[in-house]
Chain A
């Protein structure tokens, strides 16, 4: 026998951003609970809207699975006395297991007989267990909880009603005086209170009450309505996943509509219009087929299509007022010069110990300039870098950025162009904030890349320098994301600069400022370790494991693109059986070489051909190897190393490295040290966990 079960929790409107995770938790925790309770089921469906979450379990077994298990008791010699009578131990054991002593049998384990019984546990009825499902509801966790009235429970929002049905039967429990019932509520305005006869009719009954409880269905419904509208109007309405998710979770019964705004507002940069529409009002912006923004917006109502024109008119009024503000800001901002804005930055604190934004700009300007110099930019280009850095933050005091903080840099570029700045300078101001989100677009121009890296290095080195190293989930200055961005830009721009060089010039400049960085050496090491960890993280996303990254970054982080290239090759070699011999030979060399000191090899001290052979080969390949490494031809370079393998093997067969004779031993170690030099150019092979044994 199976049954259908439904649990619904009705609440005051939950925050849209928490719904997807709540639904997932409900799904997973329900399954866990059913499994723990040995209740089998066919299917579970979860539902979520702003005002409710629910789970329906269909094909639920009406009782727990029975358990039959063999239990071992005491050894036979303890269980029976000499006359073969059951001892207290045996009787106690049987009683404890709920069986008669007659049920005992013996079974040998490692030649010793032990008492055993077969125990049978009759599963409890589902009806008896289901009230405890309350635990699942209370175990849901939310990023923000609240209390209400004089209740002590902390939950996402106040609980209004509870439905719990096992077939047609109410499952009894209560939470904060709200008792379970079969009464649910429809859409706040279009629906009403209604009674469920059966658990199975939930989804359909809610539809009658103007609630689409299935969030996936609601989302698809909105998407279809938007697409149909776009088609009918010959528009393009780009649907961003985040916005679609949010509007889906703000409504129970979606109806899509559109409205207009004054064409005059199209003079404002479209980023500002889009931010107003999306972030403030949760509207979808509209474009024509040529991708031009149109003075329309698409929105979703929580309700049906009755009086829709009235709703559209209200929304238009709000948007027009907002855009009027944007126009005002845009016009007012242009009345201020870049210089006067820049002056105000000396009153904006960047970070208490790192000074004002103005101080930051001054540092970034010098760091950017030195980066440009190391990257071999011309004097003209460097002048542009300096200008871009000097005015990189002026837009932070504009009213537009004050109102729409995500437009920092974007407005900077626009206002800089209006003020007659060089296009490359203007673009760099925008690109300094790239990537704007994880894996977002990187700066395209060299100027933008330099400014972006300089700005980020200043923040990373400065923050860590004054003791603001991120811990756990605490990373208020987003240092991890910024370090990752620095690495990505290095790679994307194919810079041959090492991370160490960039860090060193940043830290050196910091020491010329009034910012107090105690123990610069220690800070340098902390920053290096911090960036190394980001490298490892980045590599992991590309399928390269940590041990390989440690091996290739033993000496230094170096040039990120090259480090990753080497790492990729080693990741391939890791499981390559052909490479096993080479890896073992080289590994042995590294172990022994660590015991020796750097010194010239004296061929006169060679005692066998193998020593001579290895030495000659090393001399032969040395310049080729160096050249290949310089050209980043790592595959070929490693092939050269592979040529050494038979010679190394012969060397070890014929030569006693740790000879009694001090001179001989030193000479042999020196030879191995030379081989090791080749290997270390590549990586510390002994830090890699090789897996070639299969």
Chain B
């Protein structure tokens, strides 16, 4: 099964479970979790069910397209359901079967893995899902986001698409995976992998990046003061990505590192709080619809 078909299969599956199919968010980010469609929307009482593919940039994992397992940018298929359905594990396992993974022919396990992202003030409990010893999915019940208690609890399912594909297509090198008939990951991503690695480790303008970090941070702050949650959050994402570029280049010392993470975290926390406040001002509109259906 090509990656493209995998995506279509997962989209169909989760769409059938009532998820809104979203598109990837258009600001650079390290993980699907950081999309406002997860991070912000998981907060507050409003129900929220979505699924989307998120291209995720990890500058430090860039390997000039030479490593068979590591990528500057990989793809996550992200599912969020709030409140978490009681049969969520079964729904997830059904999605694997649709991808052609017969559980009787494999060894599928839910192995404890508690997820924590201090930068986002987020923490959750759950598992990494093992397929014959390989971690193919992160499965997390959010307990806290942006320093706020998650209530009701949202469940997040993150499929690592390239990993899963390397299993389904039985390929040892990620660049050999087929995206669709006749088109490989190499065809699409080799050049950007090489160039982004070269940029990240050699050509990036450190002074400019430090400067950008501060400017993005300032912009996020001034937008936050005006109660503009989503634009402010975009700038937090830009801060986070800029920090990742600097960190990958090794120009941030350990002491400074803590400081930078702290700055991003403070912003993320403030925005999480602001998001809930702004939704409340709007009267939690999505909650209303839910209440009406309940009344019927």
From B4-12, B110-118, B265-273, give the one contacting chain A: B110-118
- The count of chain B contact residues (Cβ–Cβ below 8 Å) is 38
B86 touches A189 (CB 8 A): no
Contact with B along A146-172 (1 / 0, CB 8 A): 111111000001101000000000000
Cβ–Cβ < 8 Å partners of B172 in chain A: 317, 320-321
Q: Is A408 an interface residue (CB 8 A)?
A: no
Cβ–Cβ < 8 Å partners of A188 in chain B: 93, 103, 108
Q: Which of B109, B110, B111, B141 contacts A148 (CB 8 A)?
A: B141
B110 touches A299 (CB 8 A): no
Q: Is A50 an interface residue (CB 8 A)?
A: yes
Given A149-B84, A149-B152, A307-B105: A314 touches B133 (CB 8 Å cut-off): yes
A348 touches B254 (CB 8 A): yes
Q: Is A478 an interface residue (CB 8 A)?
A: no
Q: Is B40 an interface residue (CB 8 A)?
A: no
How far is it, in angstroms, between the C-alpha of A319 and the C-alpha of B130 when the chains are bound?
13
B153 touches A149 (CB 8 A): yes
Q: Is B89 an interface residue (CB 8 A)?
A: yes
Q: Is A635 an interface residue (CB 8 A)?
A: no
B133 touches A319 (CB 8 A): yes
Given A189-B104, A311-B132, A318-B133: A147 touches B68 (CB 8 Å cut-off): no
Q: Is B260 an interface residue (CB 8 A)?
A: no
A349 touches B152 (CB 8 A): no
A158 touches B107 (CB 8 A): no
Q: Is A545 an interface residue (CB 8 A)?
A: no
Cβ–Cβ < 8 Å partners of B111 in chain A: 13, 16, 250
How far is it, in angstroms, between the C-alpha of A4 and the C-alpha of B225 when the chains are bound?
65
Cβ–Cβ < 8 Å partners of A14 in chain B: 112
With most chain A CB atoms within 10 A of its CB, the pick from B85, B108, B151, B153 is: B153
How far is it, in angstroms, between the C-alpha of A324 and the C-alpha of B86 when the chains are bound?
40
Q: Is A325 an interface residue (CB 8 A)?
A: yes
Q: Is B23 an interface residue (CB 8 A)?
A: no
Q: Is B276 an interface residue (CB 8 A)?
A: no
Cβ–Cβ < 8 Å partners of B107 in chain A: 301-303, 311, 314-315
> Which chain B residues numbered 11 to 65 have a C-beta less than 8 Å away from chain A?
none
Given A147-B151, A148-B84: A314 touches B68 (CB 8 Å cut-off): no
Q: Is B137 an interface residue (CB 8 A)?
A: no
A489–chain B nearest beta-carbon distance, Å: 30
Q: Which of B67, B68, B106, B167 contacts A311 (CB 8 A)?
A: B106
Contact with A along B63-104 (1 / 0, CB 8 A): 000011100000000000001111001000100000000011
Q: Which of A146, A189, A328 contacts B143 (CB 8 A)?
A: A146
Q: Is A110 an interface residue (CB 8 A)?
A: no
Q: Is B255 an interface residue (CB 8 A)?
A: yes
Cβ–Cβ < 8 Å partners of A147 in chain B: 141, 143, 150-151, 153
Q: Is A224 an interface residue (CB 8 A)?
A: no
Contact with B along A436-452 (1 / 0, CB 8 A): 00000000000000000
With most chain A CB atoms within 10 A of its CB, the pick from B83, B110, B131 is: B110
Chain B, residue nearest A17 (CB) = B112
Cβ–Cβ < 8 Å partners of A540 in chain B: none
Cβ–Cβ < 8 Å partners of B93 in chain A: 188
B152 touches A150 (CB 8 A): yes
- The count of chain A contact residues (Cβ–Cβ below 8 Å) is 47
> Which chain A residues numbered 2 to 59 have a C-beta less than 8 Å away from chain B?
12-17, 50
> Which chain A residues numbered 333 to 377 have a C-beta less than 8 Å away from chain B?
347-349, 352, 356
A189 touches B103 (CB 8 A): yes
Q: Is A310 an interface residue (CB 8 A)?
A: yes
Q: Which of B86, B112, B131, B254 contacts A149 (CB 8 A)?
A: B86
How far is it, in angstroms, between the C-alpha of A13 and the C-alpha of B108 when the chains are bound?
12
B104 touches A16 (CB 8 A): no
Cβ–Cβ < 8 Å partners of A299 in chain B: 133
How far is it, in angstroms, between the C-alpha of A306 and the C-alpha of B114 when the chains are bound?
32
A314 touches B106 (CB 8 A): yes
How far is it, in angstroms, between the C-alpha of A306 and the C-alpha of B85 when the chains are bound?
32
A190 touches B167 (CB 8 A): no
Chain B, residue nearest A12 (CB) = B89
B104 touches A307 (CB 8 A): yes
Q: Is A501 an interface residue (CB 8 A)?
A: no
> Which chain B residues numbered 129 to 182 have a C-beta less than 8 Å away from chain A?
131-134, 141, 143, 150-153, 155, 167, 172
B153 touches A148 (CB 8 A): yes
Q: Is B216 an interface residue (CB 8 A)?
A: no
Q: Is A144 an interface residue (CB 8 A)?
A: yes
Q: Is A118 an interface residue (CB 8 A)?
A: no
A307 touches B141 (CB 8 A): no
Q: Is A529 an interface residue (CB 8 A)?
A: no
Q: Is A650 an interface residue (CB 8 A)?
A: no
Given A144-B114, A250-B109, A314-B167: A190 touches B104 (CB 8 Å cut-off): yes
Cβ–Cβ < 8 Å partners of A190 in chain B: 104
Q: Is B127 an interface residue (CB 8 A)?
A: yes
Q: Is B293 an interface residue (CB 8 A)?
A: no
| 21 A-B residue pairings within 8 Å (CB atoms) | A16-B111, A17-B112, A146-B125, A146-B153, A149-B83, A150-B151, A150-B153, A151-B153, A160-B86, A302-B108, A303-B107, A307-B104, A307-B106, A310-B105, A310-B132, A311-B132, A314-B134, A315-B107, A317-B172, A318-B134, A320-B172
Chain B residues near A (Cβ < 8 Å)? 67-69, 83-86, 89, 93, 103-112, 114, 125, 127, 131-134, 141, 143, 150-153, 155, 167, 172, 253-255
Chain A residues near B (Cβ < 8 Å)? 12-17, 50, 144, 146-151, 157-158, 160, 188-190, 250-251, 281, 299, 301-303, 306-307, 310-311, 313-315, 317-321, 324-325, 328, 347-349, 352, 356
Ordered nearest first, which 10 A-B pairs have the shortest CB separation?
Answer: A314-B132, A15-B112, A13-B110, A150-B152, A315-B133, A307-B105, A146-B125, A189-B103, A149-B83, A318-B134
